[in-house]
Amino acid sequence: MTNAVQKTARRTHTLGESVIREMNDFADEHKALNLAQGMPDFAAPEVLKEAACAAIRGDVNQYAVTSGAPNLRKVLAKKYRDWYEMDVHPEREITVTCGATEAMACVALGLFDPGDEVIIFEPFYENYGPDALLAEAKPVYLRLDPPTYDLDREALTALITPKTRAIVVNTPNNPTGRVFGREDLQVIADLCIEHDIIAITDEIYEHILYEGEHVLMATLPGMAERTVTVSGMSKTYSVTGWRIGTIVAPPALTAGIQKIHDFVTVGTAAPLQEACAVGIEQLGRDYYTGMIDEYRVRRNIMIEGLRAAGFQCAMPQGAYYVMADFSAISDEDDFTFAKRLILEAGVGTVPGSSFYHSEGGGRSLVRFVFCKREDTLREAGQRLRDFAARG
Ligand code: PLP
């Protein structure tokens, strides 16, 4: 008999467990090299660490302003101007959140009404669908296919209905490494303007880009007033545990988003916000180019190891993930194969189908992360080659 006291809310029943965390735990349990979850195994920049210690020693211990520490919002506005020629009002258009994760949830809860439709590209970062569901909106999926994951204008247009409220774009992309260029973004922008839709962009990998330029949807003509730009510090400064995310949105949308943020968290860690402000202000362009150079080396080691082991994969253009096709090695499904990789090769990955909603998507793919030290990636490549050679 079910105990009425033990029942959970209906909205939780639509949410599955995070496959990434599950595979992460399984990999750790079996002491595998963990290339499942996107967290670096190297240090954050010294300037951020020093600034965090200084803020704590300086007694920055109390609640920050809910929408974000004024210092941080000020340097963020300057950064958007300097890097992207984008005018952002620090008080009316910026919200600092507990990571891009809280940011995306606040955007969904602040801007979607029940029944609204939200277009999400597959393969996707796993939070977008659940965020829409939490807001009782309906995720509508558009599948982009490997190896190039190109956006088809006709297919996107066909999904738009009078209920479409938003299109979610993640560039550079997790899990594919695809970068949406100006032309792709213009296709989406044109449809947003024509059908009065908002664009929600997840730009958490904005600085991890191996070729081309990072184009902000919000800077395309007519898009500033209908774009919500989500980003954060986790990836740029290798501080995934600090939980500092950002939202830039026009004042009317920001007002709704901030109401949710205020009730859910009040705000994120005050001393760490101060430290991020110092980091953004003090780290010059050489930090960012140096970081990209290091990631490019890691990417090349990863790709070389995967290809030598028999995986097929496209070269990521940005971010630090690679979707690898294992059909030349095994005809198992992705979950069986990923579990066997942990147990027999000692390498943790995420099954490809967890990035798809549609039937059969990602069945012969697994995702590797390469935000790891070079020796970790070399060792992973060797283990994969040995595993594939054993058959
Ligand atoms: N968005 C994407 C595309 C991600 O890959 C991740 C983390 O892996 C996040 C958001 C979460 O970022 P945060 O650590 O700022 O919550």
Query: Are 212 and 340 members of one domain?
Result: no
Query: Are 133 and 81 members of one domain?
Result: yes
Residue 325 domain-assigned? yes
Q: Which atom of ligand 1 is nearest to the CA of 101?
A: 16
Query: Are 81 and 31 members of one domain?
Result: no
Residue 74 C-alpha to ligand 1 middle, in angstroms? 23
Neighbours of 145 (CB within 10 A): 11
Task: Please tell me the predicted confidence (pLDDT) of residue 302.
Answer: 98
Residue 386 C-alpha to ligand 1 middle, in angstroms? 32
DSSP states of 88-125: --TTTSEEEESHHHHHHHHHHHHHPPTT-EEEEEES--
Give, for ligand 1, the residue of 18, 96, 101 to mutate: max count of ligand atoms closer than 8 Å to Cβ. Answer: 101
Residue 4 domain-assigned? no
Task: Assess contact for 351 and 388: CB atoms under 8 A.
Answer: no
DSSP states of 231-273: EESTTTTT-TTT--EEEE--HHHHHHHHHHHHHHHS-S-HHHH
Query: Are 52 and 192 members of one domain?
Result: yes
- Distance set, CA 113 to CA 132, 137, 138, 164 (Å): 10, 6, 10, 11
Domain stops at, among 264, 282, 300: 282
DSSP at 345: I
CATH number at residue 18: 3.90.1150.10
- Model pTM above 0.85: yes
Task: Please tell me the predicted confidence (pLDDT) of residue 12.
Answer: 87
pLDDT-flagged residues of the chain (< 70): 1-2
Task: Please tell me the predicted confidence (pLDDT) of residue 391.
Answer: 75
Name every protein residue with a CB atom under 6 angstroms from any ligand 1 atom: 38, 99-101, 125, 170, 174, 202, 204, 232, 234, 240, 245
Query: Are 111 and 242 members of one domain?
Result: yes
Residue 168 domain-assigned? yes
State which residues form the domain around 321: 9-44+286-390
Strands 117-122 and 321-325: unpaired
Residue 113 C-alpha to ligand 1 middle, in angstroms? 24
CATH number at residue 192: 3.40.640.10
Length of the chain: 391
Task: Please tell me the predicted confidence (pLDDT) of residue 20.
Answer: 83
Q: Which atom of ligand 1 is nearest to the CA of 233?
A: 15
Task: Please tell me the predicted confidence (pLDDT) of residue 1.
Answer: 55
Query: Are 25 and 51 members of one domain?
Result: no
Task: Please tell me the predicted confidence (pLDDT) of residue 2.
Answer: 60
Query: Are 189 and 264 members of one domain?
Result: yes
Return the residue matching tokens 């294992």: 326
Query: Are 28 and 109 members of one domain?
Result: no
Strands 350-351 and 365-369: antiparallel
Task: Please tell me the predicted confidence (pLDDT) of residue 66.
Answer: 96
Q: Encode pLDDT of 188-232 as tens digits.
A: 999 999 999 999 999 999 999 998 899 999 999 999 999 999 999
Number of structural domains the chain divides into: 2
Residue 100 C-alpha to ligand 1 middle, in angstroms? 6
Residue 1 domain-assigned? no
Query: Are 196 and 73 members of one domain?
Result: yes
**Among candidate residues 19, 33, 13, the one with its CA nearest the CA of residue 341:** 33
Residue 126 domain-assigned? yes
Residue 178 domain-assigned? yes
Task: Please tell me the predicted confidence (pLDDT) of residue 37.
Answer: 87
Residue 2 domain-assigned? no
Paired strand residues for 164: 117
Task: Assess contact for 300 and 313: CB atoms under 8 A.
Answer: no
The tokens describing 181, both together, are: 């260029």
Domain stops at, among 250, 282, 314: 282
Neighbours of 331 (CB within 10 A): 10
Residue 181 C-alpha to ligand 1 middle, in angstroms? 20
Displacement of CA 146 from its chain's centroid (Å): 19
Residue 64 domain-assigned? yes
Displacement of CA 366 from its chain's centroid (Å): 17
Domain stops at, among 256, 282, 308: 282
**Among candidate residues 220, 149, 224, the one with its CA nearest the CA of residue 186:** 220
Query: Are 24 and 118 members of one domain?
Result: no
Query: Are 270 and 326 members of one domain?
Result: no
Task: Please tell me the predicted confidence (pLDDT) of residue 163.
Answer: 98
Strands 164-170 and 227-232: unpaired
Query: Are 27 and 64 members of one domain?
Result: no
Contacts of 375 (CB under 8 A, 6+ apart): none
Task: Please tell me the predicted confidence (pLDDT) of residue 218.
Answer: 98
